[in-house]
Amino acid sequence: MAEGKATKLAEELGTVAAELGKFSPKVGGQFNVFLRHAFEDGALSAKNKRLMAMAAGIVRGCDWCIATHVKKALDAGATKEEILEACFVAIVMGGGPALAYSKVAMDAVEELSSK
């Protein structure tokens, strides 16, 4: 399957984070360490944290965040149904614009779960 939009967005975000980490290990690098630890299993599972982050990305209207967290949620074992339910929560919190950005998540699920 050819690289799709979700894959490209997730890779772009990873590249930007890595470049900023190299440019400034004190700031960008530490932020990347913080991100890694923030999404580890704890009182909440990594999967649930990724679903929460995806929903926040939908509310904020960030295609890169949505694609990245859908990918990471799938990698952590999330199902299509769990991702779509998280979209509903985002729509409750973000209204009509979140409904529109849920399309990015839905497309990402279709693209990334077929790999």
Percent of all residues in the chain with a pLDDT value above 70, rounded to a whole number = 97
Contacts of 67 (CB under 8 A, 6+ apart): 5, 6, 7, 9, 10, 13, 104, 108
- pLDDT reported for residue 1: 33
C-alpha R_g of the chain: 14
pTM summary value: 0.91
- pLDDT reported for residue 2: 44
CATH number at residue 103: 1.20.1290.10
Taking 80 as the threshold, does the pLDDT of residue 40 lie above it? yes
**How many domains are there within the chain?**
1
Taking 80 as the threshold, does the pLDDT of residue 66 lie above it? yes
Least confident of 28-37, 53-62, 74-83: 28-37
- pLDDT reported for residue 115: 64
Mean pLDDT, rounded, of the chain: 94
Q: Which domain holds residue 97?
A: 5-113
